[in-house]
Amino acid sequence: VDLGFRGNVAALWRFVDADHSGSITMLELDPTAALQLASFKVFLNGSFGGSPDRVFAAFDGNRSGRLSKQEFVEAMRGRYDGGSPGPLFDLLDRRGLGYVVQADLAYLGRWQPRTYLSA
């Protein structure tokens, strides 16, 4: 994939890799998104045993196999106190289709955010 960047890639990497670990984390790329997703992961763990499948089944009231933004926001209302669910949905809808499917949430079951993100 050519992103059109013509500058010094090594310098850019060193700049973004703030902790000089050799890898770039979500926290380094987009701290706000990292915090939102970590908060949702805490919710997922506490309310659904950490299972993205269980949260999807609970939220997909019409059993369409898709969660629209409206369905997601309504399902989160009164359950989630980690911020506005609309922007969170936008992070989960990585393909920009206006809906998420079960597979879009699967990585949340494996992702272990750093402790300080979810405190």
**Residue 22 belongs to some domain of the structure:** no
Number of domains in the chain: 1
| Residue 9 to residues 22, 24, 27, 28, 93, Cα–Cα distance (Å) | 14, 13, 20, 16, 28
Domain housing 54: 29-117
pLDDT tens across 31-69, in order?
899 899 999 999 999 999 999 999 999 999 899 999 999
- Is the residue at 15 inside a domain? no
Residues 6+ apart with CB under 8 A from 109: 50, 51, 52, 53
The predicted-structure confidence for 92-109, as pLDDT tens digits, reads as follows 999 999 999 999 999 998
**Residues 106-115 pLDDT 10s:** 999 898 887 7
* CA quadruple 26, 30, 31, 32: dihedral sign: negative
Query: How many whole angstroms separate alpha carbon 85 and alpha carbon 55?
Result: 14
Is 117:38 a contact under the CB 8 Å cutoff?
A: yes
Whole-angstrom Cα distance, residue 47 to residue 32?
23
Residue 11 maps to a domain:
no
Q: Kindly state whether residue 78 falls inside one of the protein's structural domains.
A: yes
CATH number of the domain at 92, please: 1.10.238.10
* Residue 16 within a domain: no
Mean pLDDT confidence for 5-26: 88
